[in-house]
Structure 1
């Protein structure tokens, strides 16, 4: 029997992606023996040709950098969530051949926070201003009732974040990265920066911190996350985000719900521990 259902993650670089491990763990738990999930090194130039070459066995795609925006013109429709941040990380191929784009990072962030008891906050801080920061603002549009302060390294980044805030209905205030230690006093801090960028802030963690959501998962814990936990603050990590957004992808691609969160998280933890 041929493999009737295919899915994969696309991006560049892609070799370290945990998505195949998470999705395959879900398939095993759900008994989906005729499903496969692979990874492909695809950049912006190669994407149109790859999409054009897919046959009817394909059920869905996960997209990582640098493809989340360039995929949009290749789709038949895009969800309101994905449109709000101009980023698609999930494509589902419908039975009638349509390509439907969505963003599971945003509801994944919300689910990861709610799992730790963070349903609503009066204010928040965002460290960084890249693509993940716009998704963070979209999540904060749902759970934050007051202002969000973004700590950025340039005026251009600040203008971008303020623009995202206006689009998403979030009161975004801009502060220079040099003042980033002030961010740590917010009830919710979302760190969207690359590895090492927040290490210097670890010594400034307050005695009774709120919740830190650090979107990195490797290396883990980050220096900041370790310091936060040492001060008994709640920490949500990048693996939490990765698992929750993958759960939503599995449900959309397979039509099976709920996806097995615990099995997927265990598979991810084991894979990271083995690296």
Structure 2
């Protein structure tokens, strides 16, 4: 009797060499001692339909994470879509069932929210998030925050695009669109009492990433007690986060979201939650080495 083939999952994209997913999932597989593997697979837009058709026949394939530029293109190739993925309009995780059917999920939203849970689980008189950026990442972030009863100020270079995004993702919400340049210059706005409030500043743009200019944000726009969250992962400690700490604000880095979304995918692929009792200290050490 032949042995069952080794279970595996992948991350696909074009390009793909920069992905940290193999390091994250490989670390967890090793920690759990699973007979499984996780690999990066370069898939072009032209090759995507054939890749999906081939993998759905492979009983050892548990699924894949999906990076740019395939998060939208993969959706019509799947059998089912999780409601959150439909709402966001993007899939970043594909899971194969035993019958060969494929379901698409978006774990970016829960991954983004995971490090915010200690604050979100408390009751607040008011919750506001200033989200800077209107690209693909912002879609998941806006959907996630709207679901947590946050009033959102979405800022982009094109305020009309920001307004359209808010109207699409949460048409009933009392949200606001702004020009990104508005937050670059100092303000003398006098914030009211923030006792019992939750204020977030979120960089959902690539600004501040290695090779990109820093995010132009003046901290006079941050209410007292704000939490500053930057989803950039390279470098994980961006200029924005350094400035925030210097101003006395609490911070969350992009590795928190990256690890959180990977954890949600890992459990769907391998049927077990990843080992995280050390607060991801060992994994973070690996990712920043």
Under a length normalisation based on structure 2, what TM-score does the superposition of the two structures give? 0.84
* Distance in 2 (alpha carbons) for counterparts of 1:60 and 1:98: 11
* Distance in 1 (alpha carbons) for counterparts of 2:280 and 2:218: 27
Report if aligned partners of 1:10, 1:42 keep a CA contact under 8 Å in 2: yes
Report how far residue 2 of structure 1 moved. 6.3
* Distance in 1 (alpha carbons) for counterparts of 2:40 and 2:287: 17
- What is the count of residue pairs matched by the alignment? 269
Match of 1:223 among 232, 239, 247: 239
The more displaced of 105-114 and 70-79 is: 105-114
* Distance in 2 (alpha carbons) for counterparts of 1:9 and 1:263: 25
User: Which structure: greater helix fraction?
Assistant: 1
Report how far residue 15 of structure 1 moved. 0.9
Deviation track 1:92-120 (CA, whole Å, cap 9, x = no partner) reads: 100111001111111111112115x3436
Deviation track 1:124-176 (CA, whole Å, cap 9, x = no partner) reads: 1110101111111111122234x211111114422432333435x43321111
User: Are 1:187 and 2:191 counterparts?
Assistant: no
Report how far residue 8 of structure 1 moved. 0.5
| Residue 76 of structure 1: aligned partner | 79
* Distance in 2 (alpha carbons) for counterparts of 1:136 and 1:159: 15
Unaligned 5+ segments in structure 1 are: none
Q: Aligned ranges for residues 1-275 of structure 1 at < 5 Å?
A: 3-32=5-34, 34-54=35-55, 55-115=58-118, 117-119=119-121, 122-145=127-150, 147-167=151-171, 169-181=172-184, 187-196=199-208, 197-201=213-217, 204=220, 208-256=224-272, 258-262=273-277, 265-274=280-289
RMSD over aligned Cα, in angstroms? 2.5
SS of the aligned residue for 1:44 comes to coil
SS of the aligned residue for 1:144 comes to coil
Structure of larger gyration radius: 2
Unaligned 5+ segments in structure 2 are: 192-197
Report if aligned partners of 2:159, 2:178 keep a CA contact under 8 Å in 1: no
